[in-house]
Amino acid sequence: MILACLFFAVVCYLLHAYGLFSLLTDFSRLQAVVQQSGTRGYALYVALFILATLFLLPGSLLVIVAGLVFGNVTGTLLSLIAATLASALSFLFARWIGRDILLKYLGHTAVFQSIEKGIRRNGSDYLILTRLIPLFPYNIQNYAYGLTSIPFWRYTLISAVTTLPGIFIYTLMANELATQGLTALFVAKLCLSGGVLFLLVQVAKRYARYRKIDLRKDPHHE
């Protein structure tokens, strides 16, 4: 527990000292830094994505940057790899390194109790549904699932598959806007993409009702 606290304290200090926290929240600067890094930009992007996820910063900004800098295909693949590695590392940290700390601070929360109960009752179905339906903050889910009994590889595979649609659409739209501008065709594609994501969420909700899976955030509701 002491080593875990010391590790996080040192990392936080280094991130602040080198301005990485401010970089991860500054869209223009972030895009410029990744773009100007050449071939090293691929590794830098993945590393920044992992850091953002570990420290509960939103990854959507980075996904958009990937679409602008790397294009549709490469940007989607890079974001998928980065998001999968980041969620896996958060999961492992919760399970093996910081379990006592996280249980102390998260164990009583509605998010953890709901996820723990959902996994116990419904197994992988609950993970799939909470990845597709935005019930809880994504990065907090990574840590919360590490405290449950779900196997690591099953969690990692499901996380990768369920994040792919959103990553692809965000990347595509960012690249389209940068290359084509705000055209009628872009607006039509944006509406279509939003409709696809909405439909995916509705299908997930219908499946939850069909399987009688309780997705409410109240962990005490029976």
**C-alpha pair distances (Å), 111 with each of 156, 159, 216:** 19, 17, 10
DSSP-derived letter for residue 36 is T
User: Which tokens belong to 32?
Assistant: 């410029």
- The pLDDT score that the predictor gives to residue 15 is 61
B/e letters for 9-19, b = 16+ CB within 10 Å, e = fewer, are eeeeeebeeee
Per-residue pLDDT of the chain (222 residues), as tens digits, is: 555 555 566 666 556 555 666 777 777 888 888 989 888 889 999 999 998 898 888 888 899 999 999 999 999 999 999 999 999 999 998 888 766 666 666 666 777 778 888 888 888 899 999 998 877 888 888 988 988 889 999 999 999 999 999 999 999 988 888 887 778 887 888 888 888 888 988 988 888 888 888 776 654 544
- The pLDDT score that the predictor gives to residue 198 is 87
Dmax (CA) for the chain in angstroms is 56
User: Which tokens belong to 189?
Assistant: 């594609």
B/e letters for 106-137, b = 16+ CB within 10 Å, e = fewer, are beeeebbbbbbbbbeebeebbbbbbbbbebbe
